[in-house]
Structure 1
Amino acid sequence: MSVRRLAEDTVQPAAFAFSKENAAWAEATINKYPKGREQSAIIPLLMRAQEQDGWVTRSAIESIADMLGMPYIRALEVATFYTQFQLKPVGSRAHVQVCGTTPCMLRGAEDLIKVCKKKIAAEPFALNESGTLSWEEVECQGACVNAPMVMIFKDTFEDLTPERLEQIIDLFDAGEKAEVKPGPQADRIYSAPVGGPTTLQTPEPAVKKTARASKAADKKAVSVPPANAAKPKTAADVTNPTLKTPATARKEAAKIAKTEGETVDKSKPAKKPR
């Protein structure tokens, strides 16, 4: 990325001040941050200054730095690092930032740049004849999956063709930006496949579905015993004098012992319950 510098002093205004509405918004924004961390509001305040004046001036950077109690150089570092901040006058109706990083380049960014040169100006940052449009090439804007794309102020326009970009530029230049919906310009929702989902949509064969349902029913039928089912008895259970009378206990104990391969001494009577 090339070095970004402030505009020449000849175009810099002498002072900057937020409008009454923006000043109240800026104060509320600063108050969202913990005490001692107010400088974290530098990005939203610079962006609001750009929305107010169309670009970020030297006086705006210094004024915001004073509001946040930070050195001018720190505020200048932020303003010159992010390409979303315009450091010189740009088109009043649209400044088109064309992503030229590898994914967008592979998907046709060079053709989008040709459109900007034809519709706006031959060189980056140069204004068109009416001063309403300008353009530049920038680094990745984070919409690689929907390449190629451009950003116009805060909105991104993705899945572009040269023809669609020409239409968008004409609408902005005519003051009809509301007619352009941000986001993908192709038949897709965000980063979903073009044309809608194409995977995991094949209907399941009826034979396989029936077999799976039958197997699940069989498993359910044998896996869970009835809640009131009696538990198997053991010799210890039936010889327990607290459960049976002596005679009954001896009979059932002999029967179960025979089944379990045990021997029960019939000569010893079961103990009477206490």
Structure 2
Amino acid sequence: MTARSEVIDIQVNEELLAGTLLTPGAKMPGILFVHGWGGSQHRDLARAKGIAGMGCVCLTFDLRGHEKTLAQRTHVSRAQNLEDIIAAYDQLARHPATDADAIAVIGSSYGGYLATILTQMRAVRWLALRVPALYWDQDWDLPKQTLDRDRLALYRRELQSPQGNRALAACSTFSGDVLIVESEHDSYVPHTTIMSYRHAFIRSHSLTHRIIDGADHALSTDSDQKAYTAMLTAWITEMIIGARIGDYPHHSATYS
């Protein structure tokens, strides 16, 4: 990357020293991490530190109803959590080091679901979804905690279409690059839900689908956590870092 050179003066008491300031010639891609329901930014932060070292501006945060705002858990709604994500996105995009035209969003479970909706409200170039959950459109403003879990389980076991679901409708219009990571033994987000998402991305520039063998929804073992980190890092290196050096991928789709 070519550095930008700027001649400056450095004041010391009454004197000026001649200096040359070298800064990166281009702004950096931004990456927003969105955790799942009941999670936190803790695990995202560990991954973000490694990815930031590759030349990206990363932002992790805690959704309302989690960590310091845990008292709000019983009444926070999907609408409010989407507002949280929009606010975090806008702060990342405003950062002087961020290239606002090169922002990725990485969402897990509930965070992945909301991240897809974000793509219709803000510019997202890359979208990574780990075990993205799926919810019906009704009850949008009701507390998320009150949604019927048994009904959700049935809903997710049936293929859903973009015509009847806001998140999938957003996927159907997304034209960037997509990564979907599935857990083989996921009791919350079954394979059918993953396929509902995968089938919805009809306009994506590329679609990569990976499965972590033997993993559960939460990636409970260290080996599963490391496997996901490796998949995510490889994808970011190919898509985002490759785009920075002008080697933007042109494949239409890759599948596991």
TM-score by length of 1: 0.23
Q: Which has the larger radius of gyration?
A: 1
The structure with the largest helix share of the pair is: 1
The structure with the largest strand share of the pair is: 2
